[in-house]
Amino acid sequence: MIKAPGQRTRARRLQEKARHDHASGQAVRDAMPLAHAGHLVDGAPVVTPTLQRRERDRVCWHGSSAGRMIRACAAAQVRLTVTRVDGLVLARSGLEHSVAHRCVMVFGVAEPVPDAARPAHPEAMRQRLVPGRWPLLRPMTAQDIKATAVLSLPVDKASGKIGAGVPSDPEADMGWPVWAGVVPLRLQMDPPQAGPGCQPGLPEPKARFGETR
């Protein structure tokens, strides 16, 4: 429903590619580590940003063991939505303007990852974002591991949507004399900036945050 500013007819909506297969869902999750977790607090919906990654047929995320998000999500109904924006679709009428995007939603009852499996999650999440960095870090302590809770959802209940990447004006509007097309948007990673106390001469990290196109 990410549209700007109009929306489409039912027929047109059906023309958009609704992808529900696992491969497409995983491709979207790989393209965007950021997710938004929907859960309930006192009966009201709450939406919290978090990072996600796949572990076999489950999607995993984590947070402070004492934090509100983890406590609200554990053993509760959760919806994890991942949205990647690819561009602005500029049509000939306001109604047909839209955002080119890919979105996948996974839902179900979130399960806490057992204690024995928890240490593997931070390592896998780090390695996904900065391959090769984990072995260089100060090793995790028992306290570090205890402080971090990990949740997961099976990916078998999921829905997806890939919004059209080109304007879909009706025939009657095609001659309207205004530029129509797409303005591409992507996540750009800039050169690393050393922080306070960073020793000179240490190798800079090679990070990635989903696909960079």
Among 152, 155, 158, 167, binds a second copy (CB under 8 A): 167
Distance between CA 136 and CA 127 in Å, rounded? 11
Site for a second copy in 19-48 (CB under 8 A): 33-34, 36-40, 43-48
187 part of the interface to a second copy, by CB under 8 A? yes
155 part of the interface to a second copy, by CB under 8 A? no
- Whose Cβ is closer to a second copy: residue 4's or residue 57's? 4
CB-CB neighbours of 22 under 10 Å? 13
129 part of the interface to a second copy, by CB under 8 A? yes
Q: Are 108 and 154 in contact (CB under 8 A)?
A: yes
Task: Give how far Cα 125 sits from Cα of 17, 21, 136, Å.
Answer: 30, 24, 15
**Two tokens, residue 25:** 């869902």
Q: How far is the CB of 23 from a second copy (least distance, A)?
A: 21
Site for a second copy in 43-102 (CB under 8 A): 43-51, 62-70, 77-81, 83, 85, 88, 90, 92-95, 97, 99, 101
- Whose Cβ is closer to a second copy: residue 54's or residue 133's? 133
Q: How far is the CB of 26 from a second copy (least distance, A)?
A: 19
How many residues comprise the chain? Answer: 213
Handedness of CA 11, 16, 19, 25 (dihedral sign): negative
Among 14, 137, 156, 211, binds a second copy (CB under 8 A): 137
Distance between CA 54 and CA 213 in Å, rounded? 21
Q: How far is the CB of 16 from a second copy (least distance, A)?
A: 12
**Two tokens, residue 137:** 């870090």
